[in-house]
Amino acid sequence: MTEETKKPEIESKPEEKVVQKVAEKPKEETKKKEVSKVKRTEAKVNARDIPISTKKSSDICRFIRGKKIKVAVKELEEILAFKRPLPMRGEIPHRKGPIMSGRYPQRTIKNFIVLLKSLGANAADLDDPVIVQAFANSGSRPYGRFGKHRKKRTHVTLLAKDIKKSEKKDKKNGGKK
| Domain spans in the chain, listed from the N-terminal domain onward | 42-91+100-172
C-beta neighbour count of 133 within 10 angstroms? 13
Task: Answer whether 0.95 is exceeded by the pTM.
Answer: no
Question: Is domain 42-91+100-172 given the CATH code 3.40.50.720 in the classification?
Answer: no
Q: Tell me: the pLDDT tens digits for 103-127?
A: 899 999 999 999 999 999 999 989 8
What's the chain's average pLDDT?
82
Over 80: is that where the pLDDT of 21 sits?
no
When pLDDT is averaged across residues 22-34 and rounded to a whole number, the result is: 63
| Comparison of pLDDT for 11 and 89, the residue scoring more | 89
> Phi then psi for 87, rounded to 5 degrees?
-65, 130
